[in-house]
Chain A
């Protein structure tokens, strides 16, 4: 039991009341990282000024100033989110030395609430991957079993929370990158409705999919942090204009009478242990008074293919700016401008990024646009229509977060299709911009966590959190922690 096993609201209360100091919590983070991070490998960069910042927060309290909702909480930030003064590498050689001049909007908001930044967390290069293996810098291991991946692309964020190196972490989710690693590491990963949290300062992978999400030990912690992050910002015109209601205060609300749909194809071709845990979970939900039906969504099986095309196309465009001219990596001994582009990009990007840039460029090119990019956009509409039809009758869609528990390193790295299929159940939420959460649903026989995914209709973020919370409190899978 460490301090970090405590729930966030309780930690904040104790610090505000003076029973606990932000410095003690910061020291706990440092001690924990020194203890376990050589085995976990979550951190790409640590904040050298963590203790000073904690002391400043202590002074702030001593001066009697108003204290923020996240007062003194040590947070970890996925390294595709800009924190002023720290690197922003996206786990890519391309940005190995890049330091942004501004905080991301989410970082401004965390700072305004007196959170502490422990450091920057590992990810798949430019968030492209499902195992954190495509990071150019280091391997992050699953705290439950060092031979397995932590999932991805927010693998560093998930592992850091699971290993109790931070109290919570921010990740990004474009096709499941918050939920899938949460599922693999036995924690909670919440991806809100697209646009609920502004993207400004978050390095774009696939702009119409990218969503900032929260990784935390519990649903209540995730809801508490999420409440400090959502709301419109004029610097991101794709952020939602209406401020969502606070969610934390609504946890514990009665979920009886809600109706949940389980897509038939989500129970097919999945790991038997995953299937078993999900069926148990559905039983628990029924026990909570939630009606569960199996439904058929005709276009859901195309989600992965549509996502692959659209996300790659947006990525190919978004990553075109990395050319070694204004910032970023530039190799030595360049003769002319064409060579600058190709050499900077060939040496700066890893294989997975190149593969997606190639596919995206292919899908947008003359003569292929209609059959690939435009077709995928139309299929995206079909999938949204399918989901809208379900939500006309149901409040939730539930099922597994991922088809398997955490897999072994290198198991899928060279098989792009196998890797992409990891996202089968998570990409629909991104295609339609819907809120979804992964919550611990038990373990495999070999002790690997398995996650239950709960998805809601657009802007039903609070309901998703309420149901996940009810499930968590009924099962208590979240109390188990990795031995390390």
Chain B
């Protein structure tokens, strides 16, 4: 049985790029403890030698020919950005290397 801890919640939130307030952290801790406990029931299933299912239906992957196509003009794509400058998307400074 895995014990979900507050540290774990903080670590996962960081990995998911989400910030939680102290109240939210406590709330998330309760929810996750409950859900993780629920899904841990899977341990009871014997899966010895069982292949994982990645996809529900059997398909042969169709590949694409290497032929260029021009889609939307760059301006239409940049227009959707919260911030753009001189043909670039702009973000706050990336610190360090």
Q: Do chains A and B touch in the complex (CB under 8 A)?
A: yes
Mark A residues whose CB is within 8 Å of B: 98-99, 101, 193-195, 208-209, 234, 237-238, 240-241, 299, 302, 305-306, 308-309, 316, 320, 323-330, 334-337, 339-343, 345-346, 349, 354-355, 357-359, 361-363, 365, 368, 371-372, 374-382, 384, 416-417, 420, 430-433, 458
Q: Given contacts A323-B17, A354-B28, A359-B35, is CB(A384)–CB(B80) below 8 Å?
A: no
Counting residue pairs across A and B whose Cβ atoms lie within 8 Å, the total is 173
Determine if A336 and B34 form an interchain contact, defined as CB atoms under 8 angstroms apart: no
- Complex Cα distance, B60 from A3, in Å, reads 45
Determine if A337 and B92 form an interchain contact, defined as CB atoms under 8 angstroms apart: yes
Proximity string of chain B (35-55) to chain A, C-beta cutoff 8 Å, 1 when within and 0 when not: 110110111110100111111
CB distance from B34 to the nearest CB of A (A): 6
Closest residue of chain B to A343 (Cβ to Cβ) is B19
Q: Given contacts A327-B81, A340-B92, A384-B53, is CB(A305)–CB(B38) below 8 Å?
A: yes
Determine if A346 and B18 form an interchain contact, defined as CB atoms under 8 angstroms apart: yes
Q: For A371, list chain B residues within 8 Å (CB).
A: 2, 43
Determine if B51 and A334 form an interchain contact, defined as CB atoms under 8 angstroms apart: no
Q: For A372, list chain B residues within 8 Å (CB).
A: 39, 42
- Complex Cα distance, B77 from A116, in Å, reads 27
Determine if B62 and A241 form an interchain contact, defined as CB atoms under 8 angstroms apart: yes
Determine if B45 and A379 form an interchain contact, defined as CB atoms under 8 angstroms apart: yes
Q: Which of B19, B31, B44, B64 contacts A346 (CB 8 A)?
A: B19
Closest residue of chain B to A352 (Cβ to Cβ) is B31
- Complex Cα distance, B91 from A363, in Å, reads 30
Determine if B28 and A358 form an interchain contact, defined as CB atoms under 8 angstroms apart: yes
Q: For A308, list chain B residues within 8 Å (CB).
A: 35, 38-39
Determine if A195 and B76 form an interchain contact, defined as CB atoms under 8 angstroms apart: no
- Complex Cα distance, B51 from A343, in Å, reads 39
Proximity string of chain B (58-94) to chain A, C-beta cutoff 8 Å, 1 when within and 0 when not: 0111101000000010001100111100000101111
Q: Is B16 an interface residue (CB 8 A)?
A: yes
Closest residue of chain A to B14 (Cβ to Cβ) is A342
Determine if B34 and A328 form an interchain contact, defined as CB atoms under 8 angstroms apart: no
Q: For A379, list chain B residues within 8 Å (CB).
A: 42, 45, 47
Q: For A309, list chain B residues within 8 Å (CB).
A: 39, 42
Q: For A417, list chain B residues within 8 Å (CB).
A: 34-35, 38
Q: Which of A361, A384, A432 contacts B12 (CB 8 A)?
A: A361
Determine if A355 and B43 form an interchain contact, defined as CB atoms under 8 angstroms apart: no
* A-B pairs with beta carbons under 8 Å apart, 22 shown: A99-B80, A208-B56, A237-B61, A241-B59, A305-B38, A309-B42, A320-B16, A325-B91, A326-B89, A329-B82, A330-B82, A346-B19, A358-B18, A358-B28, A368-B2, A375-B45, A377-B53, A377-B54, A378-B47, A416-B35, A417-B38, A432-B56
